[in-house]
Copies of this chain bind each other. A is one copy, B any other.
Amino acid sequence: MNALFKALNDPTRREILELLKDKDMTAGDIADKFSISKPSISHHLDLLRQAGLVVSVKEGQFIYYSINTTVMDEMLKWIMQFKSSQKNK
């Protein structure tokens, strides 16, 4: 949970997820979408991976990143607890 909230607490990382929502992308292609250095994007990708929000697969000299939404379930559940307890008031 901590890693998850931490990963999402950055606009660049959230944008990366929105890119990956549509299609898998290589680290380089992702970096090209931002005006931030490649090492910085690499670091963002690392944090997203630590949170389980993305998965990486090496193909030759490229590394493909894809989104993994299953880890979001725990977070959704956590948020929903508040919504459902609010109902009974």
Enumerate chain A interface residues (CB-CB to B < 8 A): 2, 5-6, 8-9, 11, 14, 17, 21-22, 67, 69, 72, 75-76, 78-83, 85-86
Majority DSSP secondary structure for residues of A touching B: helix
Residues of B within 8 A of A6 (CB): 9
Query: Are B2 and A85 in contact, with the CB atoms below 8 A?
Result: no
**Whole-angstrom distance between the alpha carbons of A76 and B79 in the complex?**
8
Q: Out of B5, B69, B83, which one reaches A82, CB within 8 Å?
A: B69
Chain B nearest CB: distance from A85 CB in Å?
Answer: 5
For A75, the chain B residues whose CB sits under 8 A away are 79
Report the Cα distance A33→B13, complex, angstroms.
33
